[in-house]
Amino acid sequence: MPARDIYHEVVRNALMERIERYRQSIEKVLREYAAIPVPHGEINRELILDRDSDKYLLLSVGWNGHRRVHSVVFHLDILDGKVWVQVDNTDAVIVDDLEREGIPKEDIVLGFHEPDVRQFTGYAVA
């Protein structure tokens, strides 16, 4: 195998290993949040982990009195080797948990911020 092909294979394998670590970290963090009981109403947490498309969601579903609850708590994607936090509808800061799990700031994109603002967040722009 030519050196160029070996190099590309090594790079591809390293990327796949990194993405697999990110998948495991995201799943661990979301499972931790999913285990936290909702203090009011009859609301369940639904965890959606789609490794094929690298989409990860935590939903709240149920009833709070007579009011239907169906909302996204977190929505994360892995795009181009980076973790995109698309939605964080909590007072918690999920990026702190992702960093604790070993995902560096330069590989986390705060997708809920406008592209022009991301450069000031301390996280990846895209």
Domain 3-118 has CATH 3.30.310.110: yes
- Determine the Cα–Cα distance for residues 116 and 120; give it in Å rounded to an integer: 8
pLDDT over 70 at 1, yes or no: no
Residue-level pLDDT at 4: 72
Average pLDDT rounded to a whole number, residues 62-90: 97
Domain ranges of the chain: 3-118
Residue-level pLDDT at 107: 98
pLDDT over 80 at 50, yes or no: yes
Amino acid at 120: F
Q: What is the pTM of this model?
A: 0.90
Residue-level pLDDT at 32: 97
